[in-house]
Structure 1
Amino acid sequence: MTLDQRFAHHLAPIIIAGRTIKRYHLCADPTPMPPGIAEAAYRYVPHLVPAFTPGEPHATVTVLHQTSPTQAHLNAYSWRGHGLVHCRTATGDAGGFARTSGPVTGCVWELPVVMHERAAFHRHMLSGPGDIDAYLADALTRATADV
């Protein structure tokens, strides 16, 4: 079994549903995600993130993985409590997204992002007084994310 390379693109964080969203796009080639797919995905994010609870980190990491020219999977990893991550997923296209049924966490191409984000969360939020701004600024770069 062979796996084709995927390219990770980090985008600037945005605020959705009271959470700061660290965004990554995964594509089969270096070209950006089609805008219609990305726009539909981010409109759906409020359905994937848990309600914000005071005292919890307000950060969510999304991985939007283009699986064909017109479709993508959207994974939302929200930090809860003291180092817990809450994952919900959806699949869709420029026309809209819907929750994925079944227990899905991510695929082989998405996990390098998850691994980086876990390490960054530990580095900035659990190994000291907790610096959310430093965590949000710590992103996996395109150069190191090619799988």
Structure 2
Amino acid sequence: MAFAEKNLFVPEPVEIGGRHIKRYHVTSDPAGIAPEVEKAAHVLLPELLPPPDGTPAASFVVLHRGGDTGAYLNVYSWAWDNVLHFAEAAAGQPALDCPDTDPTHFVRLTGTARDRSWIGCVWELAPLEHERTAWIRHMLAPATPDLPGYLADSLRTGTTATAGATSAGGGPTG
């Protein structure tokens, strides 16, 4: 099986469901993810966010457009101060019990009868190391947590291969 890195796009953070959400898009398409796929993912996103628990309301999502009809939404939310909550949805992937091949018809996967509890494929995992380091740097290590600093500290648009190399707000993550 031949492996190729994918494009990584980093749109500005948004606020949905009372949470600040950093966004990463993964796709082999150099034009990025189609707006209708992103919009459909954002419709389901509030259902994938955990309830407030006193931790600053921050999450990051990885929206991945597969090479076939599939689209995948991985939602990572900070909870219990230093724990990462995970929820996922998919669209257009019958192998994951999606009802059709429409990449805008997202269904929740986590918490279903066939919950696979997968946290992401090799391309979707690229932002995880950076986000861990950014959370520590801005939220846990300082005397006063810096949520705006955390939200500004994202990977740069590039490829999934360069995801761990540099960050927009904190220099090398290695």
| 1:118 equivalent among 100, 118, 132 | 132
**TM-score where L is the length of structure 2:** 0.78
Matches within 5 A, 1:1-147: 1-53=1-53, 55-68=54-67, 70-92=69-91, 93-100=102-109, 101-128=115-142, 129-143=144-158, 145-147=159-161
Larger radius of gyration: 2
Q: Determine the C-alpha separation between the residues in 2 that align with 1:29 and 1:47.
A: 28
Higher relative contact order (CA 8 A, sep 6+): 1
Cα RMSD of the aligned pairs, angstroms, is 1.5
Which is richer in helix? 1
Query: More displaced, 130-139 or 22-31?
Result: 22-31
Q: What's the CA shift for 1:146?
A: 3.0
Number of residues paired by the alignment?
145
Any gaps of 5 or more consecutive residues in structure 1?
Answer: none
What TM-score do the two structures reach when normalised by structure 1?
0.91
Greater share of strand residues, 1 or 2?
Answer: 1
Amino acid at match of 1:74: L
- CA–CA distance in structure 1, aligned partners of residues 68 and 120 of structure 2: 20
Indicate the percent of aligned positions where both proteins have the same amino acid: 39
Q: State the AA in 1 paired with 2:51.
A: A
